[in-house]
Amino acid sequence: HRCYHDSVAQTGVIALMLAYHDLRGTWKRQVDRYVAATQFSKEKLAEGGLPRERIVVKPNFLAHDPGARTEFPGKFAMFVGRLTPEKGIHTLLQAWQRLPDVPLKVFGDGPLRETLSVYLRDNQMPNVEILGWQSNADILEQMKQARFLVFPSEWYEGFPVTIVEAFACGIPVIASKLGSMAEVIESGVIGAYVRPGDAEDIAEQVANLWQNPEHSVQMGHNARNTYLERYTAARNYTLLVDIYSDVLAERRHQLSF
């Protein structure tokens, strides 16, 4: 299926490696802990055959705090991601046909870029800019000027760091109610859910948040507090040390018998 680097040969090598270790029992006998970024990911790993009792949840984090925005309520909505079908970018632009008064900046590159540019031109959507790849520093600066991030992915995702970055910058996130995203976003508090692949629902949620800037600002403050509580490097360090400590204690207990 060309799952790895879109290559049959490379995918075949990976499949053989996985099958070999599965037969040897590597995953069940030689790994003390599996670390999942969300509870949703943990459940999927367990469904795939990994021992549930060895899977722990430790979310993604940011190594450096970018600092909260100081400009309110934000001048535009933004999308950050690869321009591919599964990221929901085409659905997003369909939604934006209903939002002529809301500026949208699209950051990212990918195989759909030319197709999307033609779509914008054909549908006369001057309020949408496709700005291509940008450095992480530039993305963070743009986030501090945005009103909110829209993350309309149409597949599960792991735990997108882009969402954590938005929280850290103090902007809410409108995201698909799907997989890990549904677990990370608290709708009405730090963002809003949309139905995956539903342009009308995306347009409705975006319009609601755009037309209520005070609510958007408050959700941004809540998002920043969520980042400080859950997704800092210091918090990650504590969780990681706890994981190693549990494994060492378990090993010592086993050796005592």
Q: Answer whether residue 2 shows pLDDT above 80.
A: no
164 to 15, 46, 61, 171, 198: CA distances (angstroms):
32, 25, 7, 10, 24
Is 152:202 a contact under the CB 8 Å cutoff?
A: yes
The arithmetic mean of pLDDT across residues 77-106, rounded, is 98
* pLDDT, tens only, 22-39: 788 777 778 999 999 999
Q: What letter would DSSP give residue 74? A: -
Res 230: pLDDT: 98
Res 57: pLDDT: 98
Res 28: pLDDT: 78
The arithmetic mean of pLDDT across residues 43-63, rounded, is 95
Architecture category of domain 77-230 in CATH: 3-Layer(aba) Sandwich (3.40)
Nearest CA among 217, 152, 220, 225 for reference residue 190: 220
* pLDDT, tens only, 112-131: 999 999 999 999 999 999 99
| For the chain, domain boundaries | 1-30, 32-61+239-257, 77-230
Q: Answer whether residue 4 shows pLDDT above 80.
A: no
- Give the number of other CB atoms < 10 A from CB of residue 246: 13
Task: Report the alpha-carbon distance of residue 205 to residue 150 in Å, rounded.
Answer: 10
The arithmetic mean of pLDDT across residues 215-236, rounded, is 98
Res 26: pLDDT: 77
